Amino acid sequence: MRRAAFLLLSVPLGFVGYAARSSTYSKIDRCLAQPDSAWNYRTRSCEGAPDGPVDRIYIDKSEHWMAAYRQGQIIREFRVSLGPGGLKPKEKAGDGRVPEGLYTISMHNPVSAYHLSLRISYPTLEQSAEAAARGVNPGGDIMIHGLPNGKGWIGAAHRTMDWTLGCVALTDDEIDEVWKLVPVGTPVDIRP
């Protein structure tokens, strides 16, 4: 996880300065800083954030998109950053890829190195067995998390590159919202 923070923070200062000035990212960050507000990526507008728990999370890796559902309806959408290992499924520890499959949220981590985090139940027993058969470590500690502690100022500009070590990253304001809405046991479906 420290390497991911280094990758994110080693971006040339000119890039960060440009991204921070971007009107789109500034609008998103201003919206998310308002209590009970959410950015709608389809309408490109700031809207009220829905109340109540989420009962399913869907992550589309190729679209860098995450949706939170309640009773079959999308209640919130997010643009996310992933790992720099590409869009193939995670095969082993250190490959920088996000796993694919059906999981659950297995815990809330309030002392995360990335603001807050929600642990995803990767690897499954089958994925562990497959990795053992290949003689590799499947990895673990796959999270939905915010930005590295103390770097929340990067905000929505973090989405300009894939920088995690195989996790799914949101802004700090977004993970604050998701943290409150997503109980342990919530299904997570990660697709290519």
The domains of the chain are located at: 2-13+53-191
Secondary structure of 129-148 in the HEC alphabet? HHHHHHCCCCCCCCEEECCC
Which class is 2-13+53-191 in CATH? Answer: mainly beta
Each residue's pLDDT, cut to its tens digit, for the chain (192 residues) gives: 444 444 444 443 333 443 444 677 788 888 878 877 777 877 888 888 777 899 999 999 999 999 999 998 888 899 999 999 999 999 999 999 999 999 999 999 999 999 999 999 999 999 999 999 999 999 999 999 999 999 999 999 999 999 999 999 999 999 999 999 999 999 999 999
pLDDT of residue 17: 40
Beta strands in the chain (DSSP E): 37-40, 45-48, 56-60, 65-70, 73-79, 101-109, 117-120, 143-145, 168-169, 187-191
